[in-house]
Amino acid sequence: MSHHDRRSFLQNSVLASAAAMSLGGARSLYAQEPAKSGGKSPNDRLHAAVVGVNGRGGSHVSSILDRSDVVISHICDIDENVGASRSAKIGEKQGTVPEFVRDIRKLLEDTSIDIVTIATPNHWHSLGALWAVQAGKDVYVEKPVSHNVSEGRRVVQAARKHGRIVQTGTQCRSNPGMRDAMKFIHDGGIGDVKIARGLCYKRRPSIGAKGEYPIPPQVDYNLWLGPAPEKPLTRPKFHYDWHWQWDYGNGDLGNQGIHQMDLCRWALNKNQLSDRVVSYGGRFGYVDAGETANTQIIVHDFGTQQLVFEVRGLETPKLRDVGVGIIVEGTNGSLVMSSYDSGKAFDPDGKVIKEFSGGGDGHHWSNFIEAVRARDHKKLNADIEEGHLSSALCHLGNISLRLGKQIEGGQMLDALKDFKGHEDMKATYGRTAEHLKANQVDVDKTIFSLGQTLELDAKAETFKSSDAANSMLTREYRKPFVVPSEANI
Ligand SMILES: NC(=O)c1ccc[n+]([C@@H]2O[C@H](COP(=O)([O-])OP(=O)(O)OC[C@H]3O[C@@H](n4cnc5c(N)ncnc54)[C@H](O)[C@@H]3O)[C@@H](O)[C@H]2O)c1
């Protein structure tokens, strides 16, 4: 099918879908026949729309502007000022000013758009990606790809059903240094991998007092809220700080941490959820408008292997030269990756046996465009299913934490003694307690949330015996911003 034919096909599909909707027959806002196109010819520039262009969306723009094979034809943002200024800047660099649209639903009606990239807050990722896929677009969606476990799986299903290419914004997956390191350990370079430790040691100051703040006048708050419940703005800063409120964000575990969670899962070579999860922690050192933990330990049990994750938002020294990174422990050595692309492998005596380096976001974008041109999701380095599984490991940790009982730090060691792998648990807690003390937290008297240990049916992606936990695998969507059910994707 030629490019022109493809556009008419899509146009017809949209019209057919609109007609179906008016007859009350549409299954969802954007449900239509999947595009059957083989894509544009290699000489055609792909038309991209960037959705959410404040912080990370600005990086999407830069990465796309670095390429000669993609043009930014549209941008979409619910903040008029952010959208207008980004549009003007793109115009200066690109020579053509992209069309600025505020409502993603309107954007997706435009059949000239081939690619949609999404850098909105987390609570919009899955719905935006799913609607874009249904509208026949290929998608680059930021991490975490979901705000809850269930909607992430829906996007995977929709991508497959509609034959769309969906890349996750976990760019480490395309860095040559990281790829070499993963191959090294998968080839047995440090023996059998036993523990993958993810560290997210990143200073996060207070976001200011909880209150009721005015909505900035240039913002369409209804569109910003999307699937989230109608609530006033309770944090001082409108953009970015939503990461620390549960209705929109997933804490640092689902912010910075998802990159390292993904690397840990990759290191363990696991393509499904864990058998068991437990998490503990709290928001220590200040009281503010934030709700998510700034100090959190998450342990995923994969039978013979463990994934142990630490989030620290207060001032902290590094562990084995790692602030944000991973430490993988094997039966014959270890691997320490202290950035998105570089690190070292050590023998059991601590001698360096191999070094790794090389990266840059451009690799990930090139990989996405190649897969789009080839119409083959198997070529993706971070296919949506990878993004879904790693995002889900973060959500599961947060579910355990949020269902936890409140206990004083002084009781924690005793409470952890019956946990599987308790020697490592004890050591991790000990280091966490020292870290908190160094930040003047009175650890013994401080209240921790000690999460439930939750058993999982890893394949079904549900909990085995907790209705409360199962209910947190999804959310109540605010109409009409509803992620469709499996039957209706
Ligand atoms: N891959 C990475 O390394 C990386 C780095 C930073 C951020 N991120 C991810 O990027 C996302 C955005 O982060 P940020 O720091 O730019 O956040 P931000 O709050 O600064 O920016 C989000 C932008 O999205 C806009 N927006 C919100 N809802 C929208 C909607 N429905 N339609 C269109 N626009 C909408 C907002 O107005 C804002 O301009 C986050 O999910 C974050 O996890 C990824």
**Structure confidence by residue, pLDDT tens digits, 333-352:** 999 999 999 999 999 999 99
Residue 386 Cβ inside 6 Å of ligand 1? The answer reads no
Distance 239 CA to ligand 1 centre (A): 8
Which CATH code is given to the segment(s) 3-172?
3.40.50.720
What mean pLDDT comes out for the span 205-214? 98
Which residues, listed in sequence order, are joined to residue 138 by a DSSP beta bridge? 115
Residue 51 Cβ inside 6 Å of ligand 1? The answer reads yes
Residue 142 Cβ inside 6 Å of ligand 1? The answer reads yes
Neighbours of 242 (CB within 10 A): 21
Residue 245 Cβ inside 6 Å of ligand 1? The answer reads no
Atom of ligand 1 nearest to the CA of 103: 32
Residue 100 Cβ inside 6 Å of ligand 1? The answer reads no
In this structure, which amino acid lies at residue 439?
N
Nearest CA to ligand 1 atom 10: 119
Q: Which residues contact 242 (CB under 8 A, 6 or more apart)?
A: 121, 235, 248, 249
In the CATH hierarchy, which top-level class contains the domain 176-357+384-463?
Answer: alpha beta
Distances from the Cα of 308 to the Cα of 165, 268, 322, 396, 442, angstroms: 31, 12, 14, 13, 25
What mean pLDDT comes out for the span 405-421? 89
**Mean pLDDT estimate for the chain:** 92
Cα–Cα distance, 96 to 98 (Å, whole number): 6
Distance 110 CA to ligand 1 centre (A): 22
Residue 79 Cβ inside 6 Å of ligand 1? The answer reads yes
Domain ranges of the chain: 3-172, 176-357+384-463
Mutate to test the pocket of ligand 1, among 76, 77, 225 (most ligand atoms within 8 A of CB): 77
Do the bridges between strand 276-282 and strand 295-301 make them parallel or antiparallel, or are there none, so unpaired? Answer: antiparallel
Q: Which residues contact 166 (CB under 8 A, 6 or more apart)?
A: 129, 133, 138, 139, 140, 141, 155, 159, 377, 380, 383, 384
Residue 120 Cβ inside 6 Å of ligand 1? The answer reads yes
Asked whether residue 259 carries a pLDDT value surpassing 90, the answer given is yes
Residue 382 Cβ inside 6 Å of ligand 1? The answer reads no
Q: What is the pLDDT of residues 437-467, one digit of tens each?
A: 999 999 999 999 999 899 999 999 999 989 9
Closest to 455 (Cα-Cα) out of 240, 191, 274, 231:
274
pLDDT score recorded for residue 418: 75
Q: Angle 149-161/125-134 helices, nearest 10 degrees?
A: 10
Residue 76 Cβ inside 6 Å of ligand 1? The answer reads yes
In this structure, which amino acid lies at residue 116?
V
Asked whether residue 7 carries a pLDDT value surpassing 50, the answer given is no
105 — phi, psi (to 5°)?
-65, -40
What mean pLDDT comes out for the span 303-322? 96
Nearest CA to ligand 1 atom 18: 240
The answer to whether 424 touches 197, Cβ cutoff 8 Å, is: no
pLDDT score recorded for residue 421: 74
- Structure tokens that stand for 286 in this block: 């200040």
Distance 143 CA to ligand 1 centre (A): 10
Closest to 160 (Cα-Cα) out of 130, 186, 183, 188:
130
Residue 226 Cβ inside 6 Å of ligand 1? The answer reads yes
Nearest CA to ligand 1 atom 36: 52
Could you tell me the pLDDT band of residue 53, with boundaries at 50, 70 and 90?
A: very high
Q: Which residues contact 209 (CB under 8 A, 6 or more apart)?
A: 236, 288, 289
What mean pLDDT comes out for the span 79-94? 97
> Lowest-pLDDT range, 20-29, 141-150, 330-339?
20-29
Neighbours of 421 (CB within 10 A): 15
Nearest CA to ligand 1 atom 22: 120
Distance 428 CA to ligand 1 centre (A): 32
Cα–Cα distance, 190 to 305 (Å, whole number): 14
Taking the whole predicted model, whether its pTM rises above 0.85 is answered as: yes
Could you tell me the pLDDT band of residue 306, with boundaries at 50, 70 and 90?
A: very high
pLDDT score recorded for residue 30: 52
Q: Which residues contact 95 (CB under 8 A, 6 or more apart)?
A: none
pLDDT score recorded for residue 39: 56
